[in-house]
Every structure is written in structure tokens, then in C-alpha cells.
Amino acid sequence: MEIPALLVAALVLAVQPAAAQPMRVQAARAGPILLDGRCDEPAWVKATPTVLGEGLSMLAVADRDTVTTCWRFPVQTLGLDLYIEDAQGALHDLHISAQTGERTRTAQGWPEWTGFGQHHGWYAPPFAFSGFKTDDGGVRRIVFAPQPSRELQLTKARFGPGPWRVMVEAQVMTPDAKIDRYPAKAFPDDPATWGILEPGQ
């Protein structure tokens, strides 16, 4: 799927105290991109990366109707979640792994995962399966194709015109499978601790 004539989004991802001024990236026109999870089309060259952590950056491009985000990682990731607050104040968790799907926070908190395969107003390519490998303990495990970047596109019709409060969780493909959170002190239940994704006009 190609996205016509994009604007590079102004992107902010930082914990914001009341008096803090958000970091901004100026919007600029860019060419079409292919939503394939690679972030290697010419459009991304004009997008200024926002550094989230060591070796990890986030970029965004936008047109009138959509915003597409790209994450670049120093190591292979096992899962990625974009938490986003929509225009009505509802909190959503958009998940990318071998399965993609979403869940919405209720008054009782975050529900268990049952919404795999749902992509209402957004999409992200799932992780590419490449086979099986037997580990040293004799356990047969799934192997995913190496891909140190991820893309996710959301529509303004679903989430509002922006800007949005957002938080990112990345589970890295290391033996401890640790989960890194950006901003580092953000809390899933409190969007006031999240960063800001600001689309270009």
C-alpha cells in the first residue's frame, strides 16, 4: 500500500512537566512510502529522527488523513506497543508482533488481550516468520526474519486530528526479553506522563 504526497510530521516524544516546552521537528514534504515495516523509502530521509534511547529512534510522516510512524532499533524486537490517547480521551494500546491488534482501557483498567487481528483506523505489518530452530535445550522455537525497524500507520478519522499523547513499549529479542518504555518514566494508566506525537499540518 502506498501513501501519496506526505508531510514529515512534527514529532515529540518526551516526558513533559507542566512548564516544559515540547521538542519539535518541522514538517516538510516527502515522497510516497510503502507500508512494509522497513522505513527505507526516500520519504523517511527527510524525517528527522527523535532519539528515544541508545540506538533507538522514532520518525513520523503525515498527510491530510494519516500519520505513519517508524521505529529503528539497535537489536531485533520481539514486540512493540504504541499507546495513544484519542481525541475523546480514550486510551488505546496498538500492538505489533507476529500478531497485531488493539485493546482499549476501560474503567477497570487494561483488559487482557483478545483483540488480535483488529485494525480499526490503523495498521502495522506483523513480524515476518522465517522458520523454526531447535535451541540447546532441544526446544523447537519460532524464528522471525531480522528486521531492525517497524512501521505503524494511523488515521486521523479514528484518533482525531492530533496532537496525541503517546507512549512506546518495546520488548527486545534478548534472553531476558526485557521491556523498555519510552518515555522511561511513563505509566500506561497515566497519559500525563506520556510524550506527544504532533502531526504536520
82, pLDDT greater than 70: yes
What average pLDDT score do residues 84-106 get?
94
Domains within the chain, CATH numbers bracketed: 2-198 (2.60.40)
What stretch of H or E contains 8? strand 6-8
CA separation for the pair 49, 58 (Å, rounded): 6
Task: Give the residue with greater pLDDT, 17 vs 111.
Answer: 111
pLDDT > 70 in the chain, percent: 78
What does the pLDDT look like over 37-59, one tens digit per residue? Answer: 888 888 888 788 888 777 788 88
pTM above 0.85, yes or no: no
6, pLDDT greater than 50: no
Residues shown for the chain: 201
CB 32 within 8 A of CB 4: yes
With cell 507512549, the residue in question is 167
CA separation for the pair 195, 16 (Å, rounded): 7
95, pLDDT greater than 90: yes
CA separation for the pair 30, 115 (Å, rounded): 33
104, pLDDT greater than 90: yes
Q: Please give the pLDDT value at position 114.
A: 82
196, pLDDT greater than 50: yes
- What are the C-alpha distances in Å from 61 to residues 10, 134, 135? 8, 40, 40
Instruction: List, in order, residues 6 or more apart from 27 with CB less than 8 Å away.
Output: 7, 8, 9, 10, 62, 200, 201
